[in-house]
């Protein structure tokens, strides 16, 4: 994953950028006010993510964030309610990921001196990872394959494959046995 920081000057947004941002905000509003598990809900979700969401994936309302056009979601992903996705730096969620309620995926921040400048680095949630309730994933972080981020953890650094991290800042407390996933039928 390329974690180089990019800087975005919000004063230089084009009319097209602003119009697309408004369109996405309106789609998120509609999604958040539509009966879940209905064809209308699925249609809005499909319009918001277009070809960037895989088969069998579902995001539960309410959802909030920005730059939804920079989010890629794999197959069979479940994102529970109240997820914040600040995606200016890009967010990729691979297949079979579970994200619990109130999680925050944040790929952008503000420059310390010029708040109109966004500092952006991508977030990558690898295959089979599980993000616990209320966890926060910060810019530039890679959560490894089958890793677990404990509830309310703040992840400031990459999480190795098969690691279990907890706390603020999150620290590795356990490493899962990769063979356990093979035995579980994966």
The CATH fold of domain 6-183: UDP N-Acetylglucosamine Acyltransferase; domain 1 (2.160.10)
Instruction: Note if 110 is an active site residue.
Output: yes
Helix or strand holding residue 171 (H, E): strand 170-175
Whole-prediction pTM: 0.94
What pLDDT is stored for residue 185 in this prediction?
A: 65
Q: Cα 112 to chain center, whole Å?
A: 24
What pLDDT is stored for residue 27 in this prediction?
A: 96
What pLDDT is stored for residue 32 in this prediction?
A: 97
pLDDT tens readout for residues 123-180: 999 999 999 999 999 999 999 999 999 999 999 999 999 999 999 999 999 999 998 8
What are the residue ranges spanned by the domains of the chain?
Answer: 6-183
Q: Pick the catalytic residue: 33, 76, 110, 146?
A: 110
Pairing relationship of beta strands 117-120 and 108-110 according to DSSP bridges:
antiparallel
Contacts of 163 (CB under 8 A, 6+ apart): 144, 147, 148, 172, 174, 175, 176
> Could you tell me how many helices (H) and strands (E) the chain has, helices first?
3, 19
What pLDDT is stored for residue 140 in this prediction?
A: 96
Nearest C-alpha neighbor of 63 from the set 43, 79, 42? 79
Is 176 buried (19+), middle (13-18) or exposed (0-12) by CB count in 10 A? middle
Dist. CA 44–CA 142, nearest whole Å: 29
């Amino acid at each position: 994953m390329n974690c180089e920081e990019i800087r975005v000057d919000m004063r230089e947004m084009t009319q097209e950028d602003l119009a697309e941002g408004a369109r996405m905000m309106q789609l998120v509003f509609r999604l958040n006010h539509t009966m879940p598990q209905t064809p209308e809900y699925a249609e809005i979700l499909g319009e918001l993510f277009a070809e960037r969401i895989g088969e069998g994936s579902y995001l539960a309302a309410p959802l909030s964030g920005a730059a939804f056009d920079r989010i890629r979601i794999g197959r069979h992903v479940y994102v529970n309610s109240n997820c914040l996705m600040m995606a200016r730096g890009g967010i990729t969620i691979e297949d079979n990921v579970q994200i619990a309620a109130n999680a925050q995926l944040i790929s952008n921040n503000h420059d310390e001196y010029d708040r109109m400048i966004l500092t952006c680095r991508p977030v990558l949630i690898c295959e089979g990872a599980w993000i616990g309730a209320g966890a926060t994933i910060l810019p530039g972080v890679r959560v490894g394959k089958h890793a677990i981020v404990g509830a309310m953890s703040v992840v400031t650094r990459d999480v190795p494959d098969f690691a279990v991290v907890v706390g603020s800042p999150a620290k590795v407390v356990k490493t899962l046995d990769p063979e356990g996933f093979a035995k579980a039928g994966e």
